[in-house]
Structure formats: structure tokens, C-alpha cells
Amino acid sequence: MSDTVEIKAWAKVGNMLVNTEFLDHDHPLHPYNQIKDQGLCPEDFGLEHPVYGEFEDKSRSDLINEIVSLRKTLESYVRNFG
């Protein structure tokens, strides 16, 4: 593992210069995604996935229930609009 990683701190979005930490978590220039795109693990550099906090207090059972609910919603969507 490399001891350092290089990421862009600022990005031009439209006419604005934006700190990349404040981009949507799925934006390719979000720091987490910049590190992943280099083939590295962001967690190795102390950077958690942007939505980690939403799930850290949930139990395994809660997470499974959420996954099942999302799967049912997706399958229903595909049946109705697929």
C-alpha cells in the first residue's frame, strides 16, 4: 500500500469552484471516488464511504430488512415499468 494518495481538493463545476468534499457522494471527483479510481481502498487512508454514518448504528437484521425492502421495491418497479 502506498503511504500517500493524491486527490483534487477543488473542482470546477459549471461556473463555480467547489471543494470536492462537498460534491455528491456518487460524483467521480468526490475524494472517496478519486481514491477508488486509483485502485486503492479509501478506508486505508482514513476516509469512510460518505453514507457510512447512515448505517453504522443499524443491526445486521435491520440492514437485511432494508435490503429486502429495496429489492421488493425494485422488482415491483421492473414489473410495472420494465
pTM strictly above 0.85:
no
CA 5/CA 51 separation, integer angstroms: 21
pLDDT at 19: 98
Section 16-29 average pLDDT: 96
CA 45/CA 55 separation, integer angstroms: 20
* 33-37, 61-65, 78-82: the lowest-pLDDT one: 78-82
Q: How confident is the model at residue 28 (pLDDT cuts 50, 70, 90)?
A: very high
The DSSP H or E segment spanning 79 is helix 60-81
At 14 the three-state DSSP class reads coil
